[in-house]
Amino acid sequence: MIEQRAVLKLLSEGSVTETTPWILGEPTIEELLRDPLVHAVLRRDGLNPQDLLQAVSLGRGRLAPAALMEVARASDAA
């Protein structure tokens, strides 16, 4: 496994690749879909990018009501 110091050294040396910024945070869905490895895994599983986008949309829809409840609870407590 690569150490954080080694990663930071690579970043400071300017040898940044398209995927290196992922080390610094979570990639967006758009970034994930630009990765050929993601496409290969989707194909292997019999899926396509649209299937992934649909699953993300479904998940967001399920999480949205819970997030609204948290906001409501926080405002009621204040």
Domain ranges for the chain, please list them: 1-25, 35-78
> Does 65 have pLDDT greater than 90?
no
User: What's the rounded Cα separation, in Å, for the pair 36 and 48?
Assistant: 12
User: What is the value of pTM for the model shown?
Assistant: 0.54
Looking at residue 41, its amino acid is V
> Higher confidence at residue 46 or residue 62?
46
Q: What percent of the chain clears pLDDT 90, i.e. is strictly above it? A: 33
For residues 22 and 11, is the Cβ–Cβ distance under 8 A? no
> Rounded mean pLDDT of the chain?
79
pLDDT of residue 1: 47
User: What's the rounded Cα separation, in Å, for the pair 41 and 60?
Assistant: 22
For residues 16 and 9, is the Cβ–Cβ distance under 8 A? no
